[in-house]
C-alpha cells in the first residue's frame, strides 16, 4: 500500500473535519425591531421588513460577517471574536473607524441543544435582529 493510499484510507475512517466543528455559522433573520422615540422596540419600516428572511454567514475564527445586511469584513472596521468555552457562547463585536463610529454586536447562543442556535444582532442599538444560525 502506498503512502498516498494509506492516507486516503485513514482519512476515510477518521474524518478530521468532524473533530474541528463547523467553521461557519449560516444564519437567517426571523424578526427585526427598531428603537422608537418612546423607548420601546417596534417593527421597523417597510424596507426593514424586507430584511426578514435574509441570510448571512459568520466565520467562527475571524468573526467576518458576509451576506444580507450585515457586512463587517471591511478594512474600515475592527472585528473582535469572543468565545466563552464555559458556556459555549459566541460573540462578535465590530467597530467602524472614522468620523461616525458604529458598533455592532452579534451573540449566538451556541450552548442551546440541536442544530439551530438563536442569535441576536444589533447595529449601534437602533435595530435588533433575531433569528437562527446553524
Share of residues in the chain with pLDDT > 90 (%): 28
Residue ranges of E strands in 1-134: 24-35, 41-43, 55-59, 65-66, 77-84, 89-96, 103-108, 117-123, 127-133
What pLDDT sits at residue 5? 45
Sign of the CA dihedral 74, 55, 109, 61? Answer: negative
pLDDT the model gives residue 41: 84
Residue with more model confidence, 19 or 104 = 104
- Residue entry with cell 435595530: 127
State how far Cα 24 lies from the chain centre. 8
Which domains, from first to last, does the chain contain? 21-133 (2.40.128)
Q: What is the pLDDT of residue 25?
A: 94
Please write the tens of the pLDDT for every residue from 61-94.
Answer: 988 888 877 766 666 678 889 877 666 789 999 8
pLDDT for 85 equals 66
pLDDT at 10: 40
pLDDT digits (tens, 9 = 90+) for 27-64: 999 999 888 889 888 886 666 778 889 999 999 998 88
Beta strands at 89-96 and 103-108: parallel, antiparallel or unpaired: antiparallel
Kindly report the pTM of this predicted structure: 0.74
Written as nine digits, the cell of 101 is 463610529
What residues contact residue 53 under an 8 Å CB cut-off, 6+ apart? 28, 29, 30
Give φ, ψ of 5 to 5 degrees. Answer: -65, -40
Amino acid at each position: 500500500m502506498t503512502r498516498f493510499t494509506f492516507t486516503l484510507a485513514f482519512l476515510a475512517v477518521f474524518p478530521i473535519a468532524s473533530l474541528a466543528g463547523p467553521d461557519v455559522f449560516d444564519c437567517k433573520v426571523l424578526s427585526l425591531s427598531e428603537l422608537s422615540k418612546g423607548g420601546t422596540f417596534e417593527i421597523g419600516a417597510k424596507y426593514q421588513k424586507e430584511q426578514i428572511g435574509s441570510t448571512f454567514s459568520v466565520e467562527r475564527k475571524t468573526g467576518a460577517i458576509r451576506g444580507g445586511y450585515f457586512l463587517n469584513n471591511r478594512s474600515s472596521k475592527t472585528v473582535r471574536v469572543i468565545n466563552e468555552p464555559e458556556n459555549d457562547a459566541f460573540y462578535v463585536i465590530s467597530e467602524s473607524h472614522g468620523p461616525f463610529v458604529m458598533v455592532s454586536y452579534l451573540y449566538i447562543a451556541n450552548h442551546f441543544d440541536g442544530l439551530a442556535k438563536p442569535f441576536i444582532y444589533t447595529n449601534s442599538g437602533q435595530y435588533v435582529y433575531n433569528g437562527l444560525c446553524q
